[in-house]
């Protein structure tokens, strides 16, 4: 049996890496000023952030249709009879993407076996799970080993992020439990994470972004200890800050792989807004 890995565009996996690991990516949609774009296909990330800071009305996002998924699953199935698919997706608490993938799974059950996984996270915290599973599949690990790996990382990974403003999260209706920190004092930067259900939730409130980023590194150290980790730094519009944070992570942790720096794509970026910084990691 051959395993193929599918995810959605919110995983923010660099295109070269997705191609290298033969990961199929189903795009979500971004709607800006009455025009619809396919995330990462008809709208680049840099173009998106330029538009986001210019438009008056917040962009909206929409999940793929069941047909978008069935087209992908059927195309993969046509490659051979011995294929099964692991389809790993954005937190079900943030989007109906996971649920849509399960609908599509049932629609193609007579053609190919699809195993759908709710990552309970987003952006490259999701992407890291997908990449780890794709690498395991490439190494010849079994279906069950790959599914177990996805569930283990999903259950144990950590991600912490700080935003310049919660305005985009609030306007987009994705603020979840982080609504508790709205109306905070000027320059207070809440550190956020995803809870066990995949909902955005506050961790701490820190005055000033620089201190908040330092606290994120401390929180990651509390999680990792001396254990080797796979880590990534995520940003929206501040690559210079992301590279400084990458250097901090390289100096503070035992790394199983090089630290990846990736940009938050248009769909999650709609709610994260300019200036977001994040670290995601899991123990090996």
271 and 141 fall within a common domain: no
Structural domain of residue 175, as residue ranges? 158-283
182 and 126 fall within a common domain: no
Token pair listed for 70: 């069935």
128 and 69 fall within a common domain: yes
- pLDDT, tens only, 6-28: 999 999 999 999 999 999 999 99
CB 101 within 8 A of CB 108: no
Domain end among 140, 155, 170: 155
Q: Would you say residue 19 lies in a domain?
A: yes
Predicted local distance difference test score (pLDDT) of residue 180: 47
Q: Is 182 a residue whose pLDDT tops 90?
A: no
Q: Would you say residue 34 lies in a domain?
A: no
Q: Is 156 a residue whose pLDDT tops 80?
A: yes
Backbone angles phi, psi at 220, to 5 degrees: -65, -40
Round to the nearest angstrom and report the end-to-end CA distance of the chain: 26
- pLDDT, tens only, 123-146: 999 999 999 999 999 999 999 999
Q: Would you say residue 57 lies in a domain?
A: no
Domain end among 132, 155, 178: 155
Predicted local distance difference test score (pLDDT) of residue 186: 63
221 and 88 fall within a common domain: no
18 and 135 fall within a common domain: yes
* pTM over 0.85, yes/no: yes
- pLDDT, tens only, 48-96: 999 988 988 889 999 999 999 999 999 999 998 899 999 999 999 999 9
192 and 265 fall within a common domain: yes
Domain end among 135, 155, 175: 155
Q: Is 193 a residue whose pLDDT tops 60?
A: yes
Q: Would you say residue 58 lies in a domain?
A: no
Predicted local distance difference test score (pLDDT) of residue 185: 52
Q: Would you say residue 272 lies in a domain?
A: yes
114 and 235 fall within a common domain: no
75 and 19 fall within a common domain: yes
Domain count, the chain: 2
Distance CA(168)–CA(279), nearest Å, equals: 20
**For residues 107-114, average pLDDT:** 97
Q: Would you say residue 43 lies in a domain?
A: no
Q: Is 176 a residue whose pLDDT tops 90?
A: no
What CATH number corresponds to the domain at position 188?
3.30.1180.10
Bridge partner residues of 280 (DSSP): 159, 232
CB 236 within 8 A of CB 272: yes
Bridge partner residues of 243 (DSSP): none
264 and 222 fall within a common domain: yes
140 and 68 fall within a common domain: yes
117 and 179 fall within a common domain: no
């Amino acid at each position: 049996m051959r395993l193929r890995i599918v995810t959605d565009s919110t995983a923010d996996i660099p295109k070269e890496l997705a191609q290298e690991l033969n990961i199929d990516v189903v795009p979500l949609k971004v709607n800006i000023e009455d025009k619809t774009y396919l995330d990462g296909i008809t709208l680049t990330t840099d173009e998106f952030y330029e538009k986001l800071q210019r438009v008056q009305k917040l962009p909206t996002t929409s999940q793929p249709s069941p047909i978008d998924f069935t087209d992908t699953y059927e195309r993969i199935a046509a490659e051979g009879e011995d294929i099964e698919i692991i389809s790993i997706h954005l937190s079900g608490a943030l989007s109906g993407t996971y649920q849509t993938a399960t609908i599509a799974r049932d629609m193609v059950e007579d053609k190919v076996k699809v195993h759908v996984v709710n990552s309970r996270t987003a952006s490259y915290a999701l992407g890291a799970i997908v990449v780890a599973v794709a690498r395991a599949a490439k190494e010849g690990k079994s279906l069950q080993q790959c599914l177990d790996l996805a569930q283990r990382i999903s259950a144990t990974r950590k991600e912490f992020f700080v935003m310049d403003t919660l305005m985009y999260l609030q306007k987009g209706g994705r603020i979840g439990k982080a609504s508790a920190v709205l109306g905070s004092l000027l320059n207070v930067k809440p550190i956020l994470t995803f809870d066990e259900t995949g909902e955005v939730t506050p961790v701490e409130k820190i005055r000033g972004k620089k201190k908040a980023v330092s606290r994120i590194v401390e929180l990651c150290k509390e999680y990792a200890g001396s254990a080797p980790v796979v880590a990534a730094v995520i940003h929206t519009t501040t690559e210079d800050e992301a590279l400084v944070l990458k250097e901090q992570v390289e100096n503070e942790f035992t790394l199983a792989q090089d630290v990846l720096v990736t940009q938050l794509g248009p769909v999650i970026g709609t709610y994260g807004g300019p200036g977001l910084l994040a670290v995601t990691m899991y123990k090996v």
